[in-house]
Structure 1
Amino acid sequence: MASYDHKKIEKKWQKEWEKSEIYKTPDEQKSKDNFYALVEFPYPSGNLHTGHWYAFSVPDIFTRKKRMEGKNVLFPIGFDAFGLPAENAAIQRGLSPKKWTYENMDYMRKQIKSIGASFDWSREVITADPEYYKWTQWIFLKFFEKGLAYQAETPVNWCPKDKTVLANEQVVGGHCERCGTEVIQKNMKQWMLKITDYAEKLLEGLEKLNWKDEIKEAQRNWIGKSEGAEIEFEIKDNKSKIKIFTTRPDTLFGATYMVLAPEHPFIENHKSQVTNYKEVEKYINQAKKKTQLQRQKEEKEKTGIELKSIKAINPANNEEISVWVADYVFSGYGTGAIMAVPAHDERDFGFAKKFKLPVKHVIAWESGSKREREERRDGGCAVIFDHQKQKYAFGKTPEGILDLFGGGVGNEDLTRGIKREIEEESGLHDFVSEELLDEALVHYFNYKKKVPRLARATCLLLVLGSDKLGKIAQEDHEDYKILWLDPEEAISYWEERNKDSDYTHWIRFLKRGVNWLVMAGIDTTNKLYPEPTVHTGKGILVNSGKFDGMDSENAKWKIIKFVSGKKAIQYRLRDWVVSRQRYWGAPIPIIHCTKDGAAAAPEKDLPVLLPEIKDYKPYDDGKSPLAKAGKWLKVKCPKCGGEAERETDTLDTFVDSSWYFLRYCDPINKKEFASSAKMKTWMPVDLYSGGAEHTTMHLLYSRFWFKAMFDLGLIPKELGDEPYKERRNRGIILGPDGQKMSKSKGNVVDPDEYVAKFGADTVRMYLAFIGPYNEVGSYPWNPQAILGIRRFLDRVWKIASPRSSTLGVFEDSTPSVLPRGDSARLLNKTINKVGDDIEEFHFNTAISALMMLLNEMEKAGVSSENFSVFLKLLAPFAPHLAEELWSKLGNKNSIHFELWPEYNPKLIEETTFELIVQINGKVRDKFEVPADILEAEATHLTLEREKVKLALENKKPRRIIFIPKRLISLVL
């Protein structure tokens, strides 16, 4: 047999498969269950890149195995053909976007077919075909009729260069993801879909889906459900009230200021009462230039301005608080106003520190272990810092115990009492700044008094002007020596010496103190600790009036009732903006009439065709290029018959991809988007494989779209309201340098080059072998590793060569080097492992098992029967090579419709195992024994071992514990 000529073999079988339509899938096949496998269809960018190969060829392994298991597998393909890149490319080249896109699709079809993926091309769907977007428009109008689609003015991300609206996810670092232009924020009239009406249904649906937790959690976080309360704050000397939404009503007593979004209507409505309104107006205008993503960055410097002369009244304690405007608050979330609790919110704390606003602790966290007969003894301590020494002060007792200075303060003013205790204990007194750092409810053992205690511990942060000492007045138990230490020195000391006393709260106090001082630029030698600077969790209420001492969770709803608030739920999810101000997209089928407003285009006029125009450049003011289509633009109002105009925005391409999987079920239906019978035949999708980057956009949008269609009666009730049974995300392939592939970096891998050199089967197997496909990771392209895969396939070809005659029949005369039982055992184990690994998308370990089996076959020889089994296992990974060798064995039918091999369960069981011998818990020996060994025999063999005899030192074990197939333990 000639050498392995991948070009000849792959061309031969691709041609044969296409001619025989081997992968064309009937809706029903006798005695076969249907299985719908879906991959995200590609955008016709013009060239198939490595990411496409990774997306298509690796899941193809799974679908091929499903066919061999006797399933009737639907594995369709198409093109997500609308979109901005085509339009920009067409403008640059002087072509129409349609011509550029469709020429690209012709080229990419050939490339995709070269992969050897088992796609059913007879069901191809192209979103830019009028036959497809007719139904996109039709479904949109159904949403419009039910009020799910509406037009309203909303703040959007605007790219001045591309002249279109961008989703938040398309803005990276404040710049357009596509062209790099700085994005601006502007208000525009946009078409939107009420995805927020489905927020709860989208959350509830996740519970019943067989998806990985990280995928479901990403969608939960994106939807962002928050349960809390709406509470009104009265404005002093004004009849107005400002309503806030908070998830932490238990911290209401700690609200020391209020913040409004720059867009909040209160500001405009009360500008005459704001004495610094000109400065406020200037700040608001600056905020409007920022995108939402820029405004919500955690690391950005906090900005804001006070509304001078405006004061709000905290309804919990009737205290006056200042009112501010800041761009980290958004009008689109909650009520556009927040109560700020800097003691228990990192963002509020950062703002308060910058503008020197009060911080009031109202939640004390609990620390330590509860003990019987605890004494209650409240008090305080301090984290003391000398900015000249850049060290922290601690007291060390003669017993070697390290303390923060402080003590009980009785009825004395808290701050004054703590500072008095510190001066009496240490003499330190020259404090130039002080902060109330933290409060905790502490269970601890007082090693001085030898009693368990419970204390409400308040901690101050004190900065020294000098280390001058005043008069020391220590009590008998307070024989302290001052130590100046770095924080880590103290923490290490406490962790070693103070464990039994439960002084872990001191570690937390110290770390928070260090964070405060580092943030303020006072401590210049240490770094921030990862712990939060303020306590944001649950605890016990303090400084909260009659609610003091209550658990914060239990107090939430009592405080809401106390201030006449009401429970409320908010979502982070915003309505989906589907308007795009560009040409190459599905026209929005709406007609605007000055008399009747927005009206649906008549159903008989669908599809509203995209007109041919000469100039595809959008207007600077936000109008779409379709505004230039004169004849197309002018139309009669379907309601009154008067003069009207068509909507000139086009639909977001995520709309097109929100239902394409339904069209695959019935792709040539001219009467409906898909018949009920065909949907019942194939839906829901059994397995959807795609990119992790689509988890919170396409995947969420299509779930909403499907649920909305279900509620409108467009989806058969039997199918339920979820489109995908299972979703699996993949990782990304990096360049050889370990960086994301990019033309500017020169690290883009052209798969065509490697296919020509090594073959499609080699590239397929390399991509499957590069790393676990079922985990989201990043895998650098390794040219050396691909050579290893090619060598493996060369060896497969070589092992077949000497054993085949000119008729392609194996000769079974080669003697087996290995015992027949061992060969059979290895083969059955490989069948089991490869099958299980493919099911779990562990393709890399499945290939490893095939390599191990090939190694043994090369050593021992192989019968035609066993080689046939090996080829069936290889077929999903290297379909061309497997088909070729299968035919050379004299088989007439395709290997890809052969039955998947079955294994003998008895032959995959291990016949031996390594018995571990423990003596008094320590491993003393290991040796191989039969898998079915009984305790008596295991004991006898163990006691005869020389290592065991030496370890026993002639002692007889008191007890012997035998754990089958694991270990034997001897207890002396």
Structure 2
Amino acid sequence: WGATFMVLAPEHPLVEKLTTPDRWEEVEHYRRLAQRETIVERQAAEKEKTGVFTGAYAINPVNNERIPIWIADYVMMGYGTGAIMAVPAHDERDFEFALKFGIPIIPVIDRTDNLAKSSVCKDCVKDGFGAAMQKAEISFEEHGEKYHVILMGNQEINKFVDLLKGYVKPNHWAAVVGSAWKFIFSDGVVDFDSYEAEKDILGRLHKLDPSTGDARVLMEVLYREPFLRDALFHAEYGDMINSGEFTGTIGNCAKKKVTFWLAEQGKGKPAVNYKLRDWLISRQRYWGAPIPIIHCENCGEVPAPDEDLPVVLPDVEHYEPSGSGESPLANIPEFVNVACPTCGGPAKRETDTMGGFACSSWYFLRFVSPHLDTAPFDKALAAYWLPVDLYVGGAEHAVMHLLYARFWTKVLHDEGLIPFVEPFKKLMNQGMVLAYTPHRTMEVGETGDAEDAEGMEEEDHDLIPLFPEEIENYDPSKIIWKYVKMSKSKRNVVTPDAMAEKYGADSLRTYELFVAPFEDAVQWSEDGMNGAFRFIGRVWRLINDWAERFDPNWAANAAEEAGANPKAKSMRRKLHQTIQKVSEDIEKFAFNTAVAAMMELVNEMYSFAQSAGDGKAVMSEAIENLILLLSPMAPHIADELWSNLPKSDKKEFTLLETWPTFDPEVAKADEVEIVIQILGKIRDKMTIPADSDEKTMEEFALSSEKIKGELAGRTVRKVIVVKGKLVNIVAN
């Protein structure tokens, strides 16, 4: 009932049969672009949805509605049938697609949270509507010329709709969306529950409201109001609505009942689709893990005897192809020709070898006992050390190497060889480094290269990179500069060696860690390198300038100094807060914020060094700990500074030292900044004593002059306090 269009994979064989002549050129162009994309790119959640209408229609068998057939690259030929019925109200990709191309979106599943929203234009209702809502105890907020209303449950929704329909002015309208879908006009209420209702309501809006004249579907009108957006779509299984005889069917029963009904009607049948595909592991090459199978004309495929394992590949003198499509191993008779282990007759070894993934899928098991020559791995050591605590790698491995590693691990577990079923406890994907690269627009008939499109936005897939020698003879006005993945084929690689030579290895490391969150893509900029270089230089000057005054016995004197000197106390607090933050951020792979925290600490240390007076011990404590905190990011300069530190009991290298620890009492702030909200919206911020309890926080919040003004004429119904963070006031 909610299916309003169909989508075929671009490579689906039906595309050529269904596409109408007037749509063929555009469809064919889109198919060429889709061929250049990888599966990962096509399935990326953040990718903008694209597609082309084929000109053909299908009939939805449950309601006999005619729905358009599109092609789009987010549908895969290798998953299911390569064709989907799109229910845009309850699938995020379909929702984005339908909204972009003006396809009707009909809600058919109720929300499980009973949430509904309404954004009412003040010019659309009679005077006194706000006061009437207050009297009816309906919560709302005024945002400029609109009332923003949040409703919970049918009783509150119905109360609001009954109130609103008495206030809507002639030739105006309002809507409730989410757990109810109603359009309120001065002459009545229309439920948005079908195609017919969509056409009726949209037609009325076009007549009443000129601003809706360009809207192709109702959801397009509603989506223009940001306040409503999170109520327009949901994917949770709730009770069925707007679904013919199944309206009201409980969510967890709906799928089974509808599937049974479709089968009974002869209109469909249940099926399970797996995204996994058969894994072809054989390769026609002379290296790789041998496949221990022997082919016998009488016995068929026979496993190599246990005593012959592992099969060892022969030395290969001639690497040329065999000419038969087989591996070069097929040209070595002494390797190929063997006796059948079962019947003793003449037989031949398998000459294909396994692909690289076959070995790279379990290498971590070998790490626990790399010198063991009687088994692939020591079971006891594997049980002790594994599974791997943390795996860091590129996202491009998710659908191949990591999938195979999980498969291999589960097989070994099922065979009783290892006690765990997952190979890795945690996965982190590092972001890609992008380079500013010149491009030209693809000529008509060009298809380009899939690698050229990797890492580019969808709308840029018709661009081809320009090489340095091409730029000189190319019209500068036609050159399009884009940040794209670095690769040899694009000749846009910035070599780390060149940057390390110019700025130093520590500056390069620090910049790469600081420039963005670990998992985000990075737009490479040499200007950023300058910033990291300056920071390293500031650290060098600060610590070397203080080296002669360094107090190796600071631990005995720092607390006393801080107690006698407010500036020393503030400096020491900042140091211990930084130790805490850097330690926690490194554990979370939040290296960028760890570096930022050290930059703030260095600024504080410079300020303190100029005005500290007798703060020698506190400054020495800060210097020693700063070097250790910086050592993972900038190990060379850290060890150089460490070696210059006049401290007799230090280890030779920073990596041999104990990691700094913070004192929670020293790190504790005297004051904290809290957020003050009204109905969940930030209205003020305030600095209060850090040890304030919930009651004191509430009193501070209500004493704010800004909050007093916001609450004038309103009744405070409830105050929610999160200690040390926020106060949320519920008022009407």
- TM-score, length-normalised on structure 2? 0.58
SS in 1 for 2:600: helix
Q: Within the alignment, does 1:572 sit opposite 2:275 as a pair?
A: yes
Return the offset for 1:767. 1.6
Partner of 2:296: 593
Q: Within the alignment, does 1:782 sit opposite 2:525 as a pair?
A: yes
SS in 1 for 2:382: helix
Q: Distance in 1 between matches of 2:653 and 2:298?
A: 66
Whichever residue aligns with residue 778 of structure 1, its letter is A
- The partner residue of 2:665 within 906, 929, 939 is 906
Q: Distance in 1 between matches of 2:679 and 2:258?
A: 54
Call closer, same or farther: CA 1:764–1:958 in 2, change over 3 Å. closer
Partner of 2:129: none
SS in 2 for 1:582: coil
Partner of 1:726: 426
Q: Distance in 2 between matches of 1:693 and 1:866?
A: 42
Q: Distance in 2 between matches of 1:802 and 1:829?
A: 24
Partner of 1:559: 261
CA deviation profile, 1:362-421 (whole Å, cap 9, x unmatched)? 9978899979999xxxxxxxxxxxxxxxxxxxxxx9942589xxxxxxxxxxxxxxxxxx
Q: Distance in 1 between matches of 2:352 and 2:405?
A: 21
Q: Within the alignment, does 1:886 sit opposite 2:586 as a pair?
A: no
Partner of 1:626: 329
Q: 761-770 vs 622-631, which deviates more? A: 622-631
* Structure 1: unaligned runs, 5 residues or longer: 1-249, 256-260, 264-286, 307-313, 320-325, 350-360, 375-396, 404-440, 463-477, 492-504, 513-530
Return the offset for 1:828. 0.6
- 8 Å Cα contact 1:683-1:723 kept in structure 2: yes
- The partner residue of 1:753 within 498, 501, 504 is 498
Partner of 1:489: 213
Q: Within the alignment, does 1:458 sit opposite 2:225 as a pair?
A: no
Whichever residue aligns with residue 867 of structure 1, its letter is I
SS in 2 for 1:876: coil
Q: Distance in 2 between matches of 1:538 and 1:486?
A: 36
Counterpart mapping for 1:347-386 below 5 A: none
- 8 Å Cα contact 1:916-1:966 kept in structure 2: yes
- 8 Å Cα contact 1:371-1:452 kept in structure 2: no
Return the offset for 1:841. 0.7
- 8 Å Cα contact 1:262-1:327 kept in structure 2: no
Counterpart mapping for 1:59-98 below 5 A: none
Return the offset for 1:657. 1.0
Partner of 1:279: none
Q: Within the alignment, does 1:874 sit opposite 2:630 as a pair?
A: yes
- 8 Å Cα contact 2:171-2:186 kept in structure 1: no
- 8 Å Cα contact 1:804-1:810 kept in structure 2: no
Partner of 1:393: none
Whichever residue aligns with residue 300 of structure 2, its letter is G
Partner of 2:385: 682
CA deviation profile, 1:28-57 (whole Å, cap 9, x unmatched)? xxxxxxxxxxxxxxxxxxxxxxxxxxxxxx
Whichever residue aligns with residue 820 of structure 1, its letter is A
CA deviation profile, 1:137-158 (whole Å, cap 9, x unmatched)? xxxxxxxxxxxxxxxxxxxxxx
Name the structure, 1 or 2, with higher relative contact order (CA <8 Å, separation 6+).
1
Call closer, same or farther: CA 1:640–1:869 in 2, change over 3 Å. same
Partner of 2:456: none
Size of the aligned set, in residue pairs, is 543
Counterpart mapping for 1:510-529 below 5 A: none
SS in 1 for 2:213: helix
Partner of 2:171: 400
- TM-score, length-normalised on structure 1? 0.45
Q: Distance in 2 between matches of 1:327 and 1:920?
A: 41
Q: Distance in 1 between matches of 2:427 and 2:360?
A: 16
The share of aligned pairs that are identical, in percent, is 34
Counterpart mapping for 1:85-164 below 5 A: none
The Cα RMSD (Å) is: 6.2
Call closer, same or farther: CA 1:302–1:613 in 2, change over 3 Å. farther
Return the offset for 1:548. 8.7
Call closer, same or farther: CA 1:789–1:560 in 2, change over 3 Å. same
Call closer, same or farther: CA 1:900–1:557 in 2, change over 3 Å. same
CA deviation profile, 1:132-188 (whole Å, cap 9, x unmatched)? xxxxxxxxxxxxxxxxxxxxxxxxxxxxxxxxxxxxxxxxxxxxxxxxxxxxxxxxx
Whichever residue aligns with residue 764 of structure 1, its letter is R
- 8 Å Cα contact 2:506-2:637 kept in structure 1: yes
- The partner residue of 1:743 within 475, 488, 509 is 488
Q: Distance in 2 between matches of 1:373 and 1:892?
A: 70
Call closer, same or farther: CA 1:797–1:293 in 2, change over 3 Å. closer
Q: Distance in 2 between matches of 1:845 and 1:604?
A: 57
- 8 Å Cα contact 1:442-1:457 kept in structure 2: no
Return the offset for 1:644. 1.9
* Structure 2: unaligned runs, 5 residues or longer: 7-11, 15-30, 44-49, 65-70, 95-104, 118-153, 159-167, 175-179, 224-231, 438-482, 610-615
Partner of 1:507: 218
Q: Within the alignment, does 1:706 sit opposite 2:409 as a pair?
A: yes
SS in 1 for 2:342: coil
Return the offset for 1:584. 3.5
Return the offset for 1:860. 2.7
- The partner residue of 2:596 within 848, 851, 868 is 848
Return the offset for 1:623. 2.6
Call closer, same or farther: CA 1:539–1:906 in 2, change over 3 Å. same
SS in 2 for 1:570: coil
Return the offset for 1:561. 6.5
Partner of 2:544: 801
Call closer, same or farther: CA 1:796–1:621 in 2, change over 3 Å. same
Return the offset for 1:673. 1.2
Return the offset for 1:852. 1.9
- 8 Å Cα contact 1:911-1:930 kept in structure 2: yes
Whichever residue aligns with residue 577 of structure 1, its letter is L
Q: Distance in 2 between matches of 1:607 and 1:940?
A: 76
Partner of 1:836: 584
Return the offset for 1:668. 0.7
SS in 1 for 2:501: helix
Call closer, same or farther: CA 1:733–1:818 in 2, change over 3 Å. farther
Return the offset for 1:580. 1.8
Partner of 1:823: 571
- 8 Å Cα contact 1:872-1:901 kept in structure 2: yes
Return the offset for 1:938. 9.7
Return the offset for 1:868. 1.9
- 8 Å Cα contact 2:198-2:217 kept in structure 1: no
- The partner residue of 1:656 within 334, 346, 359 is 359
Return the offset for 1:617. 4.5
Call closer, same or farther: CA 1:852–1:700 in 2, change over 3 Å. same
Call closer, same or farther: CA 1:923–1:832 in 2, change over 3 Å. closer
SS in 2 for 1:569: coil
Counterpart mapping for 1:274-353 below 5 A: 299=51
Partner of 1:859: 607
CA deviation profile, 1:506-562 (whole Å, cap 9, x unmatched)? 7259999xxxxxxxxxxxxxxxxxx99xxx9995577x8x87996864641441563
- 8 Å Cα contact 1:442-1:456 kept in structure 2: no
Call closer, same or farther: CA 1:612–1:833 in 2, change over 3 Å. same
Return the offset for 1:670. 0.4
Return the offset for 1:609. 3.0
Return the offset for 1:658. 0.5
- 8 Å Cα contact 1:831-1:901 kept in structure 2: yes
Whichever residue aligns with residue 606 of structure 2, its letter is E
Q: Distance in 2 between matches of 1:966 and 1:619?
A: 72
SS in 1 for 2:429: strand
- 8 Å Cα contact 1:634-1:643 kept in structure 2: yes
